[in-house]
Structure 1
Amino acid sequence: MSHPQHHATSPELKRIALGFVPLLDATLLIVARERGCFAAQGLDVTLSRENAWATVRDKVAAGLLDGAQMLAPMPLAMSLGLGRAPCETLAPMLLSRNGNTVTLSTELSEASGAKLDDDPGTSALALGNWLREAGRGKRPRLAMVYPYSCQHYQLREWLTLGDIDPERQVELVALPPPRMVEALRSGQIDGFCAGEPWGTLARHCGAGRLVATGAQLWPEHPEKVLGVTRSWAEQYPATLSGLVRALVAASEWLAASPDNRRQALEWLALPPYLDRSVNHLRTLDIDDAPIHQRLYGKGMLRPTPQAVLHFAEPIVRQLEKQERRFDPALLATCYNPVHFDAATHH
């Protein structure tokens, strides 16, 4: 029996609202909108800029957004009811890999001697030794973007490389990514772990120094995903297929030439998107050491449950503390490539 071709089916919804947070890994959404990849799939997509991940989560769960760029752990956390009432959420495709930086204030970096090295443990140990000696009694305040995020888990992992107890020797706070640089500059925080462009912007304006990257800690980790509720995916399968194909087309266009990546950077710099926060970037060739942010490349966008084990572990540990059991089948549901494969005939 032959299966119907997915793209022969026109989308059930013509008008779609997708949320994003101003970060470089919103690029595929922005390119798909500006380049006409969504329109080519018969979709009229509005992009809604949200400043905080909790807002994205709540708006998708409430149906105020059809879907969104999400932190990779978010569909799992939402499905488990961590941070809000449970809402079954899927990640039908990845939007980026890598892209986070651990950034310390210039003052703390200089005082502790923590600086970027091939081994992220070197900078962590420098900070740890300083806290145990000269900085005794000090408790740096470090920000991450959301409790259930790779940024939070990577920051903790980096601290433990320096024998720093994340519970006792530092104060961890959650802040929206666009607030990080100003908070660092004004002394409200002493460092942060966030996605680009915020780490390199802090460095560019003299407020901070990069001391480690997510790519060093968890090479090739899924960082952002397209997130939709399970009920939405089941109700609008052809619309979801069109979204996936449009975003894949945007990724392939980015990969095709440096000129395309320059054009994408011009789109990112528009006021509705990332505005002035990308003015320090000369190009969008972001797959450079040490950050290695990836938005294109073979097999890059396809989700798999195996790829997300890094961040599943701390979530499972948290559930155990709450005396809740984790069903491994949930990973297979949230990060199943079935929708991606159907859309792309993988």
Structure 2
Amino acid sequence: MSKLSRRRFLYTAGATTAGTILLNACTNPPNPNQQQTTTTASPAVNVGGGEGPEVTTARLGYIPIFESTPIIIAKVKGFFDKYGMTDVQVVKQASWGALRDNVIIGSQGGGLDAAQFQMPMPYFLNEGLITADKSKLPMYVLLQTSTQGNGIAIAGKHSGKNMHLNLSQVKSYFTQLKGGGTPFTAAYTFPGANQELWIRYWLAAGGIDPDADVKLIAVPPPQTVANMKTGTMDGFSTGDPWPYRIVQENIGFMATLTAQIWPAHPEEYFAVRADWADQYPKATKAIMKALMEAQQWVDDPANRDEAIQILSGREYFNLAADILTPPMKGQYNLGDGQPAINDINMGPLFWKDPRGSVSYPYKSHDAWFLTENIRWGMLPLDTDVKGWIDKVNREDLWREAAKEMGIADADIPKETTRGVETFFDGITFDANDPTAYLKSLQIKKVSV
């Protein structure tokens, strides 16, 4: 991998990268700014899977965006307690870099045992690509926390330029900005992960090279709105409710929802340190069951109002409920003359989406995230995507947990691939033939 590619992953103190598709199928003390949340434990109920978990405590990290909802709901509604995990600590993280560092430290050093993750961060950790000393931290991906619930927000000064889903008619505007010494500057929240990949796909689909025609930077999610207000950036990609605040506070508009870029797309995941899961397999599945039950609970429209009230609390998102309500219910005023959206299936979903299971971690989805990193030169062409996924993705544990919970067979996927995925621009991705996908892309850094 080139030095330039390696430098792309420098993000917060000590972060590094390196890489690895066989293109033939698929200690620091705790951060004082973190907030721990606990509730009074109710009597444990052993539900499925024989005797109770080996331990009752775990430290789980989250970022205050909608993708963390199942973790928070499982704590507040007592689902961890129900499955015997009566001492789970849910710990807010200041940034993705802080979350990464605390997972590396582990709970023994005051860090985390498991956390919410953008994809493919667990793979980067597993391969030592984002650890300070390049040491590998074995990880397991256990479930997907949500789908959609993400958007690309644009500063109001670009209103009227038709900077919406399809950028094919506005490339000259980006060229003009660059030629004037003020290139379009857009932010994501962690290098190489999904929120950067959404904005890269959107730009490239419109004929705009994200590495040559614009400037991309990394900032923590809560900082995105502040930076937009001060004019230090032109757009950002991150999870709700942050993009929606841009419209509500008259700072700008939403160019697109990621649900429009890739309907029913995978969003974020829950992953655990492999050493913790191997030591405590029953506790691992107990946590999974609690999260899966929380996903079912929050996906019931009748529970969304209560979920919003919980999330708005000071110890969680610390945002007014009226900011969270519209995007949580799929109600988006995109702004800039675009039609409003009022469809719960266009917002964040947690258990089922129009294509089936949300919670189940399809291996084919992991393959897309890794293939996109190859597309942009962040991982080498000879990366063993299938090998990586077979080590890290523990969909087998999801199936076991689901069966032990009594989840209906119809809700347990039969295949590890969801089939061919289709993006808004007509491009398709088949995890069994990632080479064909890469060849079909006009803008990329890899030569195929």
**TM above 0.5:** yes
Q: Quote the offset at 1:281 in angstroms.
A: 3.0
Indicate if the aligned counterparts of 1:67 and 1:229 stay in contact, CA closer than 8 A. yes
Q: Which residue of 2 aligns with 1:175?
A: 219
Residue of structure 1 aligned with 2:129, choices 77, 82, 88 = 82
**Aligned-CA RMSD value:** 2.2
Q: Quote the offset at 1:133 in angstroms.
A: 4.6
- Alignment partner of 2:348: what SS? coil
Q: Quote the offset at 1:145 in angstroms.
A: 0.8
Indicate if the aligned counterparts of 1:73 and 1:312 stay in contact, CA closer than 8 A. yes
Q: Which one-letter code corresponds to 2:274 in the other structure?
A: R
Question: 1:294 aligned to 2:336?
Answer: no
Residue of structure 2 aligned with 1:343, choices 382, 385, 401 = 401
Q: Which residue of 2 aligns with 1:55?
A: 98
**Using a 3 Å threshold, how does the CA distance of structure 1 residues 278 and 336 change in structure 2: closer, same or farther?**
same
* Deviating more after overlay: 307-316 vs 67-76: 307-316
**Using a 3 Å threshold, how does the CA distance of structure 1 residues 239 and 49 change in structure 2: closer, same or farther?**
same
Question: 1:113 aligned to 2:113?
Answer: no
Q: Which residue of 1 aligns with 2:44?
A: none
Q: Quote the offset at 1:175 in angstroms.
A: 0.6
Q: Which one-letter code corresponds to 1:151 in the other structure?
A: Q
Question: 1:68 aligned to 2:111?
Answer: no
Q: Quote the offset at 1:307 in angstroms.
A: 2.3
- Alignment partner of 1:7: what SS? coil
Q: Comparing both chains, which one has the higher relative contact order based on Cα–Cα distances under 8 Å and sequence gaps of 6 or more?
A: 1
- Alignment partner of 1:29: what SS? helix
Q: Quote the offset at 1:68 in angstroms.
A: 0.6
Q: Which one-letter code corresponds to 2:349 in the other structure?
A: R
**Using a 3 Å threshold, how does the CA distance of structure 1 residues 320 and 296 change in structure 2: closer, same or farther?**
closer
Question: 1:129 aligned to 2:172?
Answer: yes
Residue of structure 2 aligned with 1:271, choices 314, 321, 325 = 314
Q: Quote the offset at 1:332 in angstroms.
A: 2.2
**Using a 3 Å threshold, how does the CA distance of structure 1 residues 133 and 59 change in structure 2: closer, same or farther?**
closer
**Using a 3 Å threshold, how does the CA distance of structure 1 residues 26 and 13 change in structure 2: closer, same or farther?**
same
Q: TM-score, normalised by structure 1?
A: 0.89
Residue of structure 1 aligned with 2:305, choices 262, 271, 293 = 262
Indicate if the aligned counterparts of 1:101 and 1:291 stay in contact, CA closer than 8 A. no
Q: Quote the offset at 1:76 in angstroms.
A: 1.5
Indicate if the aligned counterparts of 2:54 and 2:280 stay in contact, CA closer than 8 A. yes
**Using a 3 Å threshold, how does the CA distance of structure 1 residues 165 and 174 change in structure 2: closer, same or farther?**
same
Q: Which one-letter code corresponds to 2:259 in the other structure?
A: A
Q: Which residue of 1 aligns with 2:241?
A: 197
Q: Which residue of 2 aligns with 1:184?
A: 228
Q: How many positions carry a matched residue from both structures?
A: 334
Residue of structure 1 aligned with 2:294, choices 232, 243, 250 = 250
Q: Which one-letter code corresponds to 1:21 in the other structure?
A: I
Q: Which residue of 2 aligns with 1:104?
A: 154
Indicate if the aligned counterparts of 1:286 and 1:294 stay in contact, CA closer than 8 A. no
Indicate if the aligned counterparts of 1:216 and 1:290 stay in contact, CA closer than 8 A. no
- Alignment partner of 1:280: what SS? helix
Deviations 1:214-238 (A, max 9, x none): 2222222221111111111111111
Q: Which residue of 2 aligns with 1:12?
A: 54
Q: Which residue of 1 aligns with 2:35?
A: none
Residue identity (%): 25
Q: Which one-letter code corresponds to 2:316 in the other structure?
A: Y
Q: Quote the offset at 1:166 in angstroms.
A: 1.1
Q: Structure 2 CA distance, aligned partners of 1:207 and 1:146? A: 23
Q: Structure 1 CA distance, aligned partners of 2:369 and 2:119? A: 9
Residue of structure 1 aligned with 2:143, choices 71, 89, 93 = 93
- Alignment partner of 2:116: what SS? strand
Indicate if the aligned counterparts of 1:319 and 1:325 stay in contact, CA closer than 8 A. no
Indicate if the aligned counterparts of 2:174 and 2:184 stay in contact, CA closer than 8 A. no
* Deviating more after overlay: 265-274 vs 326-335: 326-335
Q: Quote the offset at 1:176 in angstroms.
A: 0.6
Q: Which one-letter code corresponds to 2:278 in the other structure?
A: E
Indicate if the aligned counterparts of 1:6 and 1:342 stay in contact, CA closer than 8 A. no
Q: Structure 2 CA distance, aligned partners of 1:320 and 1:114? A: 27
* Deviating more after overlay: 161-170 vs 283-292: 283-292
* Deviating more after overlay: 272-281 vs 167-176: 272-281
Residue of structure 2 aligned with 1:227, choices 271, 288, 294 = 271
Indicate if the aligned counterparts of 2:174 and 2:214 stay in contact, CA closer than 8 A. no
Q: Quote the offset at 1:8 in angstroms.
A: 1.6
Q: Structure 1 CA distance, aligned partners of 2:218 and 2:345? A: 24
Deviations 1:137-168 (A, max 9, x none): 23011000111211111111111122212122
Q: TM-score, normalised by structure 2?
A: 0.70
Name structure 2 gaps, 5 residues minimum. 1-46, 332-342, 404-411, 413-448
Structure 1 residue runs of 4 or more that deviate by more than 6 Å after TM superposition: none
Q: Structure 1 CA distance, aligned partners of 2:144 and 2:280? A: 19
Question: 1:206 aligned to 2:250?
Answer: yes
* Deviating more after overlay: 230-239 vs 329-338: 329-338
Q: Structure 2 CA distance, aligned partners of 1:151 and 1:37? A: 29
Q: Quote the offset at 1:289 in angstroms.
A: 6.6
Q: Structure 1 CA distance, aligned partners of 2:253 and 2:265? A: 23
